[in-house]
Amino acid sequence: MEGELHRVRQGRQKRFVSSSLKPTARPARVAVTLALAHRIRNEIVSGEIQNQADAARKLGLTRARLSQILELTNLAPEIQEEILFLEVINGREPLRERALRGVVRIAAWCKQRSKDPLQGA
């Protein structure tokens, strides 16, 4: 295994971690949030969860936060697909959910595409 060791302190504890030269990738937080939004929406539609207030209680979220999450499902399908394939590389998020809030408010998908924050990424 190639890489370097770095000393990390957390309070009084010290430990060594290796940083490999290979970049680590994982799904972006916004992609995970969008997947969660679809799951919640499907459970509400199927009747597993009564309504948004019930979902918010079960997840420990405010109703306002749950509404923000569920609004992601109103994005154009092409934008959603792009988001679902986003990855974090070496701890850097490619897109924040907050950047999508203005796009979500636009009802027409063709206008959403013109405001798509991913086009610059």
Give tens-digit pLDDT for 58-108: 999 999 999 999 999 999 999 999 999 999 988 889 999 999 999 999 999
Q: What is the predicted pLDDT for the residue at 2? A: 60
The answer to the question of residue 4 being in a domain is no
Is 81 part of any domain?
Answer: yes
Does 5 reside within a domain? no
Structural domain includes residue 12: no
What are the residues facing 38 on neighbouring strands? none
When divided into structural domains, the chain yields a total of: 1
Residue range of the domain that includes 65:
25-114
Q: What is the token pair recorded at 36? A: 């969660």
Q: Classify residue 75 by burial, with Cβ atoms within 10 Å: 0-12, 13-18, 19+.
A: buried
Residue 68 lies in a domain: yes
Residue 61 located in a structural domain? yes
**Whole-structure pTM value:** 0.77
Q: What does the pLDDT look like over 23-69, one tens digit per residue?
A: 667 999 999 999 999 999 999 999 999 999 999 999 999 999 999 99
Residue 11 has a pLDDT of 73
Answer yes or no: is 29 within a domain: yes
In a domain, 85, yes or no: yes
